[in-house]
Structure 1
Amino acid sequence: MKNRLTVCSSHLITLPSAPHGPVRAAIGTAREAVEAFDPELVVFFGTDHRRAFRAVVPTFAVVLSATAQGDVAGPVGTYDVPHAMGRSLVADLIAHDFDIATAYSAALDHAFGHTTRDLLGAVDAKPVLPIFINCASPPHASFRRAASLGRRVGEFFADRRVLYVGSGGLAHDLPGFREPETGEALTEEERQAWIKSVNERAREEGTIRELVRTWDETFLAGVGDTSWDWLDSIGVDLVERGGNGAAECLTWTAAWAAGGQALTTLAHEFDTNGRAVVMSER
């Protein structure tokens, strides 16, 4: 298994406004491991905050060409996406009964951009194959289905030196994440105004969900093993237990299954939001 490394991380943890705690330090440890591993390919399981995918929201999609939007102080630029390899992966997944979508071009937001920069230094530092998993527009895939997708991706790239990345989560609840699903594109200014107004109203009405760390701990224990027994229970009452942002951990689940190894938690913090960095041992 020395030809694969898996790193999963919360995003936005290196913003100047983010807490300078253990998780922020752990992303540095993970970056050093990535540099030492020197992957020939990065397979990045990420999501979207209703920026790139609105009018049509696939459950899963392989992205064949991608730019970085630069939102939330994220990087800009063009990803070095191995187009032909992505098309071959799509064909393989369809042959194995996955109804995978093909995104010929996508402007990916900070769900991909921040963690790519944190681990690689720049969006074009390594060949990156983005695999989109819908986590923002219910209904979502099950955790078991995300794991099945990840496992097949890992089998497809078994002979390559691959870094698998998952970005998002852990438990968090964002009132502004519940914007109307009209399919219409919002400018970033309109989007931020919407989020601000909804969050302020939620605080005034006392409707912000208070979460506990139990869901985080259960999820981290799951990816800290190789058993799939936990996959069915982790998604039960997901919003109530983990908040409407916890579905982002579908990306971690896919990366965990692709790597096929138990992940070690480098750091975990919990206040009203869960944040963590986990990785496999090479």
Structure 2
Amino acid sequence: MSKIQLECMSHTPLHGYFDPTPAVVEEVERVQRAARERVAAFDPELVIVFAPDHYNGFFYDVMPQFCIGVNATAIGDFNSAAGELPVAQNVALALANAALRSDIDVAVSYRMQVDHGCAQALDMLTGGINRYPVVPVFINSVAPPMASCRRARLFGDALGRFVAQMDKRVLLIGSGGISHEPPVPEIEGADAVVAERLIAGRNPSPESREARQARTVAAAKAFAAGDSHLHPLNSAWDRAFLDLLESGDVSAADGLTNDAITREGGKSAHEIRTWVAAFGALAACGPYDASIDYYRAIPEWIAGFGAMHARALERQHVAIA
């Protein structure tokens, strides 16, 4: 059995709030169950999850491009799992040092807050946010200016070269959307109230969080009804991206520029960086075999919803004490 496996899957905060037909929901849940069964059979000793944030844990007071959590708590937005993550602290710090040795500037956080973008993937794939030792890895995907896809791949590569030397079963998770553009506010042109929320909006009141979630649900209903200015889903672009990762040459993602991602996939399509980084880490462990498990454009969830899994075929093995 390969000691390095990968699961990448879109997430949505709208599941349970505004769903597509029961048949589509069951379709997605069937794919999720299969992924969870693969993870259970693999029984990882460590999980590294690459995830974005949606102005819940990271803000413009200091917005890193990459951050590794040394301690982390899930905030439980959109009814996602909440609580402390069992972070493998020594591994988290070792991964940060590995990235820095590879000339990738990465921040560390001893008080990371993660939202549904991280918690939903952990909960769905492993059966809970505290099932396995974990290292949460934040990749800025909504707050311009943003690092390139190439930089995200190189970041993943730096972490993957360290993982390749570990004598552990390691699960890599990429949690992010493909084409989608939910109503995430932007600091450019924002009024003073919105700007302050984007700069220092941690720990909002329950009423404020509820109002934000209600706006997202309302936007999804308008989008599904065809009455929205939000960027349309782009199935052709989504499938081309999935095919790129399946091909085994993740470096081809280097050509995806920020402007092109926004133009083709929408402003939140930048979350593909989480998939690129996860596959970059896997590729650093050697050739891999990947499978596209699912794709469907789901307007009710404002998401091109996809799922892939992969495993390393071979790698250099030098045990770390």
Shared fold per TM-score greater than 0.5 = yes
Report what 2:2 is aligned to: 2
- Select between 164-173 and 260-269 the one with higher mean Cα deviation: 260-269
1:276 lines up with 2:276 in the alignment: no
Q: Is the 8 A contact 2:180 2:232 kept in 1?
A: no
- The answer to whether residue 158 in structure 2 is matched with residue 152 in structure 1 is yes
8 Å contact kept, 1:64–1:104:
yes
TM-score after normalising by structure 1:
0.91
Contact 1:23 1:269 (C-alpha < 8 Å) held by counterparts: no
Percent of residue pairs identical:
31
1-structure distance, mates of 2:304, 2:206: 25
Q: Which residue of 2 aligns with 1:132?
A: 138
How do 1:248-259 residues align onto structure 2 when only pairs under 5 Å count?
248-259=271-282
8 Å CA contact retained: 1:172, 1:246: yes
Q: Which runs of 5+ in 1 are unaligned?
A: none
What CA distance in whole angstroms lies between the structure 2 residues aligned with 1:266 and 1:188?
37
* 1:92-111 correspondence runs (5 A): 92-111=98-117
For residue 227 of structure 1, report the CA deviation from its aligned partner: 1.3
- Aligned partner of 1:81 among 77, 84, 87: 87
8 A Cα contact 2:49 2:135, kept in partner: yes
Deviation at 1:100?
0.7
Which of 270, 282, 288 is the aligned partner of 1:247?
270
Cα distance in 2, alignment partners of residues 103 and 207 from structure 1:
36
TM (norm. structure 2) is 0.80
Counterpart pick for 1:223 among 238, 245, 253: 245
**Residues 39-94 of structure 1, C-alpha deviation per residue, up to 9 Å, x if partnerless?**
11001111111110112110001100011111101111211101122112212211
**Given the superposition, is the C-alpha separation of residues 39 and 205 from structure 1 closer, same or farther in structure 2, using an over 3 Å criterion?**
closer
The answer to whether 1:22 aligns with 2:27 is: yes
Distance (whole Å) between structure 1 residues aligned to residue 119 and residue 159 of structure 2: 21
Q: 1:213 aligns with which of 218, 226, 235?
A: 235
> 1:249 & 1:190 partners in 2: Cα distance?
28
- Residue 172 (1) aligns with residue 180 (2): yes
User: Unaligned stretches of 5+ in structure 2?
Assistant: 188-193, 313-321
In the alignment, what sits opposite 1:122? 128
Query: Which moves more between the two structures, 176-185 or 157-166?
Result: 176-185
Equivalent residue letter for 1:274 = G
Mapped pair 1:266 → 2:293: yes
Asked whether the equivalents of residues 71 and 87 of structure 2 are also in contact (C-alpha less than 8 Å), the reply is yes
Return the alpha-carbon distance in structure 1 between the equivalents of residues 209 and 79 of structure 2.
15
Instruction: Answer with 42-51 or 263-272: which moved more.
Output: 263-272
The offset of 1:195, in angstroms, is: 6.6
Query: Per the alignment, in what secondary structure is the counterpart of residue 79 of structure 2?
Result: coil
SS at match of 1:122: coil
Contact 2:54–2:184 (8 Å) recurs in 1:
no
**Alpha-carbon distance, 1:229 to partner:** 5.0
How many residues matched? 281
Residues 198-230 of structure 1: per-residue CA shift (max 9 Å, x gap): 966x97995222232121011101111221453
Runs of 4+ in 1 over 6 A off after TM superposition: 202-205
Cα deviation for residue 103 of structure 1 reads 0.9
Q: Distance in 2 between matches of 1:10 and 1:177?
A: 21
CA distance in 1, matches of 2:212, 2:162: 41
CA-CA distance at 1:190 after TM superposition: 2.5
Partner of 1:31: 36
Q: Which has the larger radius of gyration?
A: 2
> C-alpha offsets along residues 177-206 of structure 1, whole Å, 9 cap, x if unaligned?
436443021445325535756966x97995
Shift of 1:269: 0.7
Is the CA contact 1:176–1:194 (under 8 Å) kept in the aligned structure 2? no
1:227, 1:103 → 2: CA distance?
32
Counterpart Cα distance in 1 of 2:174 and 2:239: 17
Secondary structure, aligned partner of 1:237: helix
Structure 2 distance, partners of 1:229, 1:36, is 30
Cross-structure match for 1:66? 72
Give, in angstroms, the shift of residue 234 of structure 1: 2.8
Q: 1:63, 1:131 within 8 Å by CA — same for their partners in 2?
A: yes
> How many Å apart are 1:25 and its aligned residue?
1.4
Aligned residue in 2 for 1:189: 207
Q: Distance in 1 between matches of 2:306 and 2:233?
A: 16
Indicate if the aligned counterparts of 1:66 and 1:108 stay in contact, CA closer than 8 A. yes
How many angstroms apart in 2 are the aligned matches of 1:234 and 1:78?
A: 35
Q: Distance in 1 between matches of 2:170 and 2:64?
A: 25
Letter in 2 for 1:254: A
Find the residue that maps to 1:166 and give its secondary structure: strand
Moved more, 226-235 or 146-155: 226-235
- 3-state SS of the aligned residue for 1:99? coil
